[in-house]
Amino acid sequence: MNGTHVLIILGGFVDVEKYRYIYFVILLIVYVVIICCNCTIICLIWIHRNLHEPMYFFIAALSLNSLFYSTAFYPKLIVDVLSHQQSISHAACMFQMFCFYTLAASDFFLLAAMAYDRYVSICKPLQYATIMCTTNVAILLAFAWLLPAIKVGLAIYFNTKIKMCKLVSGGIFCNNSVNKLQCMKPQILTIYTVFVFINCEILPVLFILYTYIKIFIISYRRCGRAWKKAAETCLPHLMVLICFSCLVMFDVVVDKLESDLPKTTRLIMMLQIVMYNPLFNPIIYGLKMKQIWIHIKLLFGSRSKSNPARPAR
């Protein structure tokens, strides 16, 4: 079958007819919360000048990724649960895969850029303004978005050329499990996929861990105050890194053990993939980043007990 004009059946939902409106309400509420939380973070960073720093620009970029990521999945999921048949065209399926893996890889690169920013700020404070200038921040952002898009885009393009032998997927959206529907996957494409995975996910994670180890070692050798500052600024990034790592772990488990997992377990894991990071990313940064939390309290009419100085306009 030519993959261009076929419909892929998404058979991952459990008892859609029975729980249709429960699915609808949950997905709609989560999507609205994701949009509101991430838009709040982006707007606060855009409006307030004291948040116009590299670290907050990277946080805004992560929130922007979460918006794109959620919009690539939630509207389709909401329509699916209200439909009698959950299906997706091959082209739309490939687009979902492109968004999923490009934005996930971009998140890892952004976290790596944030780790480097913290390293320069804590370990090389006198050189911070020179190293993390506006031009270098723009280059890091462009690199974090363009490199994954190019590498993942090539893999998706070659996937579109492969014929489909099956049309029923066990998922609720398109990820690597769709490859099991193909008649045969060329060995060279498998090797390239592993290459992209190592370059876009494994290497950034290793760089992040190495950077944070260096930060904690250098901070430990200084005074206790430096250690506390390092922990306060690095902890949110590490928490988000754990979230992204769980996303990758769930995707790998669902892909490798799809036939062995109970349908309900598979559904729960796939829902976590689309809910976990976009939902908790802004919450983590909103609660753990002091300056963002101050602006959130001011936005909703709360006054801090410490009576913080009014941010510059």
The whole-number average pLDDT for the span 20-49 is: 90
The band of 5, judged by pLDDT with boundaries at 50, 70 and 90, is low
The whole-number average pLDDT for the span 47-75 is: 90
pLDDT confidence of residue 285: 76
Top pLDDT among 61 and 13 is at 61
The band of 303, judged by pLDDT with boundaries at 50, 70 and 90, is very low
The whole-number average pLDDT for the span 108-124 is: 89
Residue 18 to residue 14: CA distance in whole angstroms: 9
pLDDT confidence of residue 313: 37
Residue 41 to residue 293: CA distance in whole angstroms: 10
pLDDT confidence of residue 76: 92
Top pLDDT among 169 and 112 is at 112
The band of 309, judged by pLDDT with boundaries at 50, 70 and 90, is very low
Least confident of 103-117, 179-193, 255-269: 255-269
pLDDT confidence of residue 312: 42
What are the φ/ψ torsions at residue 5 (nearest 5 degrees)?
-115, 15
pLDDT confidence of residue 165: 81
pLDDT digits (tens, 9 = 90+) for 117-157: 988 988 888 899 899 999 999 999 999 999 999 999 998 99
pLDDT confidence of residue 172: 86
- Residue 274 pLDDT greater than 60, yes or no: yes
What are the φ/ψ torsions at residue 162 (nearest 5 degrees)?
-90, 135
Closest CA to 125 of 234, 230, 235, 241: 230
Q: Which CATH class is domain 7-299?
A: mainly alpha
pLDDT confidence of residue 223: 66
Query: Which distant-in-sequence residues (6+ apart) come within 8 Å of 162 by Cβ?
Result: 3, 182, 183, 184, 185, 186, 189
- Residue 234 pLDDT greater than 70, yes or no: yes
Domain boundaries, the chain: 7-299
* Partner residues linked to 8 by β-bridges: 88
* Contact status, residue 278 vs residue 70, Cβ threshold 8 Å: yes
* Contact status, residue 85 vs residue 16, Cβ threshold 8 Å: no
pLDDT digits (tens, 9 = 90+) for 73-86: 999 999 998 888 88
What are the φ/ψ torsions at residue 221 (nearest 5 degrees)?
-75, -20
Top pLDDT among 149 and 237 is at 149
What's the sign of the alpha-carbon dihedral 59, 63, 64, 69?
positive
Q: What percent of the chain has pLDDT over 90?
A: 24
The band of 267, judged by pLDDT with boundaries at 50, 70 and 90, is confident
pLDDT digits (tens, 9 = 90+) for 176-227: 878 788 887 778 888 888 888 888 888 998 999 899 888 888 877 766 666 6
Return the C-alpha torsion angle 143, 144, 145, 149, nearest 10. Answer: 90
What's 305's DSSP letter?
Answer: T
> Residue 234 has which token pair?
């690095």
The whole-number average pLDDT for the span 219-247 is: 73
The whole-number average pLDDT for the span 240-263 is: 73
Top pLDDT among 210 and 163 is at 210
Top pLDDT among 288 and 109 is at 109
Beta strands at 87-89 and 7-10: parallel, antiparallel or unpaired: antiparallel
The rounded radius of gyration (Å) of the Cα atoms in the chain is 21
Give rounded-to-5 percent helix, strand, coil for the chain. Answer: 75, 5, 20
* Contact status, residue 110 vs residue 58, Cβ threshold 8 Å: yes
Residue 39 to residue 111: CA distance in whole angstroms: 19
